[in-house]
Amino acid sequence: MDKYTKPSFCGLPTAAELRANLDKSASSDARAQITAIFDEKTFVETGAYTKRGFSDFLNTEKSCEFEGVITGYGAIDGKLAFAFVEDASRMGGAMDERHAKKIVELYRLALSNGAPVIGIFNSNGADIFQGTSALAAYGKVMSVVSKASGVIPQIAFVAGKCIGTAAAVASMFDIVVKEESALLYVSSPALTGAQDAQDAIAAYTGSLDQCAGFIRTIVGFLPANSSVGIQCSDICSDNLNRMLGNLDFAGEALSTISVIADNGVFIELSGSYAPASVTAFTTIAGVKCGVVATSFAKNEGRITADAARKIAKFVNLCDSFSIPVITIVDSYGLAIDKENETRFAPELAKLATAYASSTCPKITVIAGHAIGAAFVLLGSKSLGADLVYATDSSEIGALATESGVAFAWDKYITEETTRDSLIEDWRASVSSPVNAASSGEIDDIISVNEMRARICSALLMLAAKGDASLTARRKILPL
């Protein structure tokens, strides 16, 4: 029998050794990402001495490596934020028990301080030598991310490899940002044949500097936590009563958002995913809000299964942090095809649930068309909208005008009564905004010219919504 030899392990590093290690890794990708996102010299590392928990069965020259994740806190435009950064230069950024422990501890600090977390993903996967302990580490991270959901903002930055279970972890975050050359997939494209299959979860894709700028902007826009409430500025740099003139948006949602936003500034999320439906953050009348808008110029603004999911997640995010939702409707209803039909029912259910269950202020403007399910699902009063407006040229109904005439009035077509005249009559009566308003489902009919001013007024009126529970301390007796 061979003589047993006890593996040799490195002792704890001295402060000088730690500093040397940090200096050595100062030029690593992880450090560059921290530098790009946080205000200069504000990032403070936590758990800096944590070493990799090597298995007793593995004794290599790298057994003295520091843990493959950097955790800490700092300032982003002066605002407190926490971050964990997987460092591929340390043990490949592999997930293990101590990796998860550092992240869990970071979340404890972030939740107790009510501040956002940025997770930067770049890992070769789990430490296979730790077996089930490494797999359980993913579960621990998933658990803490889930508990923080809706309490503090969470932004995932896929900066390198984010593969397998890690892709699911990143997807649990509120907003996912992806560096353009990063790898994001559950199963290898070499096995599935599906390239960039998970890219749809990314709200933004760009270079390191572009992604860092986007993250800084989002952190500045979102509240620190769910208890902050509606964010209003005391001073609005744009005219609250600014008129728009007789604009023709040409069915483009981005054009509509640009003219109603303060100074035309907004931040679009997931622009390449279901592009006929736009989701964006902006400020209107000094109130930070989210905007959902459909582009009639793209497939008649029809709602697809992807669009329903995109909008539902966005509305849910806004509601979690008391961000008012403005919905601009210009849609002919649902997309009708085999691909969408196989997924439609549950995705439409999620969309309806997102609007119906949200308690944040909700304002809807029918800017063009609101046909069929689009009228119901996109912020209708029946689903809980506080105020619904329609422009005086809008078309609202169960069917598009041409379809309605073909379905119900074809029998009235004669030599004297043409289809065009019936279409004109239908548009002036059955699908007119006046007819919709008569049912009480529209609060007012407005011109395009006054759209921004009306939204500003409504937002300021609703700004106190949910701030307090209006319960009477006692009833006032009549004289």
**pLDDT tens digits, the chain, 479 residues: what are they?**
455 444 444 555 556 655 565 555 555 889 999 999 999 999 999 988 887 665 444 555 555 567 689 999 999 999 999 999 998 887 766 788 888 999 999 999 999 999 999 999 998 866 666 668 778 998 999 999 999 999 999 999 999 999 989 999 999 999 999 999 999 988 877 788 788 778 888 999 999 999 999 999 999 999 999 999 999 998 899 999 999 998 888 889 999 999 999 999 999 999 999 999 999 999 999 999 999 999 999 999 999 999 999 999 999 999 999 999 999 999 999 998 888 999 999 999 999 999 999 999 999 999 999 999 999 999 999 999 999 999 999 999 988 766 766 676 666 676 676 767 676 766 777 778 998 899 899 999 999 999 999 999 999 999 887 655 556 667 778 87
pLDDT digits (tens, 9 = 90+) for 55-65: 444 555 555 56
pLDDT at 98: 86
- pTM, to two decimals: 0.89
Domain 253-462, second-level architecture: Alpha-Beta Complex (3.90)
pLDDT at 43: 97
pLDDT at 234: 85
- H or E element that contains 143: helix 132-148
SS3 content of the chain, % helix, strand, coil (to 5): 40, 20, 40
**What are the residue ranges spanned by the domains of the chain?**
15-221, 253-462
pLDDT digits (tens, 9 = 90+) for 383-435: 999 999 999 999 999 887 667 666 766 666 766 767 676 767 667 777 789 98
Residue 206 CA to residue 218 CA, distance in Å, equals 15
Q: Which of 69, 77, 79, 81 is nearest to 30 (CA)?
A: 69
CA angle 391, 397, 402 (to 5 degrees): 105
Q: How many CB atoms lie within 10 A of CB 417?
A: 12
Are 15-221 and 253-462 in the same CATH fold? Answer: yes
- Tokens describing residue 210: 């572009």
Residue 293 CA to residue 281 CA, distance in Å, equals 12
Residue 234 CA to residue 359 CA, distance in Å, equals 23
- The distance between the two most distant Cα atoms of the chain, rounded to a whole number of Å, is 109
Q: Are 330 and 396 in contact (CB under 8 A)?
A: no
Q: How far is CA 93 from the centre of its chain?
A: 27
Q: How many CB atoms lie within 10 A of CB 291?
A: 27
Q: Which amino acid is at 213?
A: G
Per DSSP, the chain holds a count of helices (H) and strands (E) of 16, 17
- Tokens describing residue 120: 């930067």
Domain 15-221 class, CATH top level: alpha beta
pLDDT at 7: 46
pLDDT at 4: 47
Residue 427 CA to residue 399 CA, distance in Å, equals 11
Angle between helices 208-221 and 29-37 (to 10 degrees): 40
Q: Is the dihedral of CA 169, 171, 173, 179 positive or negative?
A: positive
CA angle 120, 148, 313 (to 5 degrees): 80
Give the SS3 label for residue 223: coil
Q: Which amino acid is at 449?
A: N
